Structures are given as structure tokens and as C-alpha cells.
Amino acid sequence: MKVTVQELETLISNKLIKAGLNEEHANVVTDVLVHADARGYHSHGAMRVEYYAERIAKGGINNDPAIQFEKTGPSTALFEGDNGVGHYMAKKAMEEAVAVAKENGVAVVGVKNISHSGALSYFVEQAADEGLVGLSMCQSDPMVVPFGGAEPYYGTNPIAFAAPSSSGKKVIFDMATTVQAWGKVLHARSKNEEIPDDWAVDENGEPTTDPFNVKALVPIAGPKGYGLMMMVDILSGLLLGLESGNKVTSMYEDLTEHRKLGQLHLVINPEFFTSAEIFKENITNTMNELNQVKPRAGFDRVSYPGQRSEERAEKSEHIEIVDDVYEYLTSEAVHHNKYDHKDPFAK
């Protein structure tokens, strides 16, 4: 099903407001979700709306949070989200981080007590739009076997990075520290498609291609991904005084409860290290040089990180979403009680 960007924005925002979210917060969530869908990150787009709506309606997201921003040093700060909707809190925290980095060169802002915040690429792009370098990472619920393990301990614990260029284009990557994000498995389920055999394992710890048999995801590059997901968990959890590892709350365990998740934004102002203009020119040169690298068989070109998704977004007058998601968005239902106390791996 293809819909216009404007129609999708209206449908998502209306559904979130109907669930109980205030309009300002709903519009930010909508912006982040459409950002993801327009770039082809459907696992973090409109398919998430019903889950959010159910959690909002059941009180698991604070619809009237008392937001606080406290500078703890010249370049460090804590942003208290009071368990409000994560997308809005992460965006506001990044705005504060950008302001600190512009003044002091670097900003490290911990974002405490929020819900799921969606595609991290949205937030690092905020920094790049201001001529700064952005890095963001966050916790997620335990769904990944540690390297050598047979049961989940860490989450997919994603990392995103963005840098500006003189051309106006941006280098952006947004990656889970697993071979694939859980949302990709959900997307495969929604389309009844098989998954590659290196994404996940079944109840016996064996690789599976059936998205409905997944019982855990696996780290990217084995012990290397395992180390990265531990780093993310420490910096966005333990460093902020929050729960970590297998104590991080599940998306589905109890939708009436606040999740109390953590996120970390790190923003760097190039002007404090080199000429900002030269830095951006060098990024542009790097982009062009990567595009000129001889592609291997089966590839039309070498793209710099984020190039294809950015080009997709620029052409996105219409966005394709699965029929079931469209039917839900256009229905009168706030939600269908699908996610509360659900085994995250359940069929």
C-alpha cells in the first residue's frame, strides 16, 4: 500500500493523539516515524504506531512529563525525560546538546527515563544540520545472546553517527549492534517473508530463517558486536545510574509500567578542532572519492553511509507500508490489545 507523506503523517499523528498523547509530542513522534519510513527503515516507521498507542493508552508513557535539563559541567548535562515519549525527549535533549557544543566545543548529554525513541539517525541528523558531528546510542530490551551464550542478555543497543559536508549532504549511519534490528524481524513477519540465516537463532540456539521461530538475535561480527553492545549499555545505562543488561525493561512485559530507558548524545563542534569549512569540504571530498571507488560485481557503485537512504527520502512523494498497518491506521481502534504481556518472540 502506497500513501502520500502527508497522509501518513496525518494518520499517525491522529492515532497517537487519540491514544492520549498531546499534539506537540505526537507531531514529533510522527516526524521521527515518517523519517524512518521515507528512508526505507520500515522497522522503525509506521508499523510501530499500534504498539506506541497501546502503551500510551495504558499509561506506560507519561503524557504530562516534568522535563528537566541540568548542566553538570561545562560540556556535560543530564536530561530528565520523566518517562515521556522517547522521540520527543531525545529530540529536545539533542537540541540542548547542540547548544552546549556550539558554545563549548563538545557536549555529552545523558537522557534519562524515556520510552523507546525510534530511529537514532533522526537525532544525529539534527546535529549535522547545525554543522556539527553527532553520535547517539541507547539501551534496548534484552533480546540478544552474548557471544558464546545461549540465552539473551543485552539488547540490540544501536549506535548512530552523522557528519555535515560542504555540499549539504550528510554522512549518516544508524546501526544495531546485532546483525539486524528486531524491527527487521517484525517487518519480515508482517510480510510473511523468510530472514537470512545469520540474523537470529531458535530456542536451541541454532540459526533460523523463519522469523516466527526467532528466540534471540545475534551480535554483529561475533565478539566485536558483543563488545559494542556492552559499551552502549554502559554509556547509556550504567553511566546514567539506570538499569542495564538483562534488567532493562521489556517493550512488552507490562505496558502500564514506565520503561525508564537511557540514551546518550555526544556532539562535537569541528570549529574547536580545525576549520569547520575545511572539515566539511574534506567530508565532501571523502564522499566523492567513495563514489568513485570501483564497485565489485553486483554493485552499481560504492555509496557513502546514508547516501542511498537520503536519495530515497528525497524522492519520497509516496511511502509504501504493509496493508495491515494501513488498515489499523485508518480504523477507529486505538489499539487491539496485541502487545501487553506478550512474549517478544511470540508468533
pTM confidence score = 0.94
CATH code of the domain made up of 65-275:
3.30.1370.60
Query: How high is the mean pLDDT of the chain?
Result: 95
Residue 125 has pLDDT above 90, yes or no: yes
Please state the φ and ψ torsions of residue 167, each to the nearest 5 degrees: -85, -10
CA–CA distances in Å: residue 24 to residues 20, 27, 64: 12, 5, 11
Contact in structure between 334 and 15 (CB atoms under 8 Å): yes
Report d(CA 94, CA 174) in Å as an integer.
16
Task: Give the side-chain half-sphere CA count within 13 A for 137.
Answer: 21
- Give me the pLDDT at residue 190, please: 82
Residue 304 has pLDDT above 90, yes or no: yes
- Give me the pLDDT at residue 345, please: 77
Fill in the DSSP letter of residue 113: E
Residue 227 has pLDDT above 70, yes or no: yes
Report d(CA 262, CA 32) in Å as an integer.
18
117: left (phi over 0), alpha (psi -120 to 50) or beta: alpha
Spatial strand order of the sheet with 159-164 comes to: 68-71, 76-84, 106-114, 261-268, 133-138, 159-164, 170-175
Confidence of residue 316 (pLDDT cuts 50, 70, 90): confident
Residue 102 has pLDDT above 80, yes or no: yes
Contact in structure between 344 and 143 (CB atoms under 8 Å): yes
Residue 115 has pLDDT above 80, yes or no: yes
Angle in degrees, CA 232, 136, 346, rounded to 5? 60
Q: Look at the alpha carbons of 300, 32, 53, 60 in this order and tell me if their dihedral is positive or negative.
A: positive
Residues carrying an active site annotation = 116
Residue 347 has pLDDT above 70, yes or no: no
Report d(CA 56, CA 63) in Å as an integer.
7
| Residues paired with residue 263 on neighbouring β-strands, in sequence order | 111, 138
Q: What percent of the chain has pLDDT over 70?
A: 99
Instruction: Tell me the three-class secondary structure of 201-249, residue by residue.
Output: ECCCCCECCCHHHCCEECECCCHHHHHHHHHHHHHHCHHHCCCCHHHCC
Could you state, in order of their start, the residue ranges of all structural domains in the chain? 65-275
